[in-house]
Structure 1
Amino acid sequence: MKRLFAALIRRPAVTALAAVVVLAALISGGVAATEYTSRPAFCTSCHEMTPYYTAWNAGAHSDVSCISCHVDPGLEAQVSHKFVALKEVYNHFTTDPKFPGAVTAVPDSRCLACHSGTIDTGIEGFSHETHQGSRSCVDCHASAGHTVTSVALAEAGILDTAAAQNRELLIFASAGRGVANVPGHMRVTCSSCHDLAATGCANCHTREAERHPQLASVTATTTGVGTSCTACHATAASWAFSHPDNAATCTDCHTTPAEHRTGACTTCHKTGVTWKFQHPQSTATCTDCHTRPAAHSTRTCITCHETGASWKFQHPTSKACSNCHKAPSRHYSGACSACHSPKVAFASAKFTHPGSGATCTNCHKRPSGHSSKSCVTCHKPGGSWRFYHPSSKSCSSCHSTPSKHYGTSCSSCHTPTKAWRSATFSHPRIPGGEHTYKSFACTNCHTKGYSSASCTKCHGADGPDDD
Structure 2
Amino acid sequence: MEEERNELPAPPKTRYKLFKYATMVVLFLAVFFGLGYFGLEATSTSEFCSSCHEMKPQYYTWKASSHSEVECDSCHIQPGVENYAKAKGEGILELYKNQTDNYLAPIKMPKLIPDSACEKCHNLATRDVTASGDIIIPHMKHKKERIKCTECHSGVAHGKISDRKVTYKSDYGKWDEKLGVAFMSDKKYTSPDMDTCMECHKARKVSVECKTCHETTMVPKNHKTEEFKAGSHGKIQSSDLKKCEQCHSYMSKESYDLFKEEPVYSQFLEKGSTDTSGTSNGLTVTQYAKTNTFCKDCHGKKPESHKISSFMTRHGTLSKDTQKCFTCHDNRITSDSPVTRVQCASCHPSSHKDNWRKGHPIEVPQNQKFDKTCLKCHVEKTCTKCHKNN
Q: TM-score, normalised by structure 1?
A: 0.34
Higher Cα Rg, which structure: 1
Q: Pick the structure with more helix per residue.
A: 2
